[in-house]
Amino acid sequence: MSLTIAQEATLKTLAVMASADSNIQQVEVETVRQIMKDELGVELTSADVRVAAHDEFIEDRSIDKYVKAVVNKLTIEDKKLIARTLKSVILSDGAAHCFEVEMFNKVVAALKMTPAELVQL
């Protein structure tokens, strides 16, 4: 599967968020799949999402380090999409857990988004 930088960044960020509690739930996987299809036109299997999350941990990189490495290749619209859709993944299991909120904050900081840009989500 060949993805653009923006598509890959979105997938990896959402997939890692889905597995933030080390227990990736199917509802979170389905949320990531639906977002990728609806927002970016990318069809994924559940395995694709699980592999994307797993690969980031195997490579011993935290997601904010990955985002920092690609942030200059993302448009403001790409950044807004990632931040907005992260919220959907966080809430997909019915609750926002403290580690998910912490990860969200790290990703948004890595995206170099201002509070004003976040308000526009």
* CATH number of the domain where residue 35 is located: 1.10.3680.10
> pTM of the entire structure?
0.90
Q: What is the pLDDT of residue 47?
A: 93
pLDDT at 58: 47
Domain that holds residue 33: 5-119
Q: What is the mean pLDDT of residues 78-84?
A: 96
Dihedral, CA of residue 100, residue 79, residue 118 and residue 92, to nearest 10: -40
Q: Model confidence at 85, in pLDDT bands (50, 70, 90)? A: very high
| Residues 81, 32 contacting (CB under 8 angstroms) | no
Domain count, the chain: 1
Predicted local confidence at residue 120, as pLDDT? 82
Phi, psi angle pair for 61, to nearest 5°: -120, 135
Dump pLDDT digits (tens) for 5-24. Answer: 999 999 999 999 988 766 78
Q: How many CB atoms lie within 10 A of CB 28?
A: 25
**Residue 100 DSSP SS3:** helix
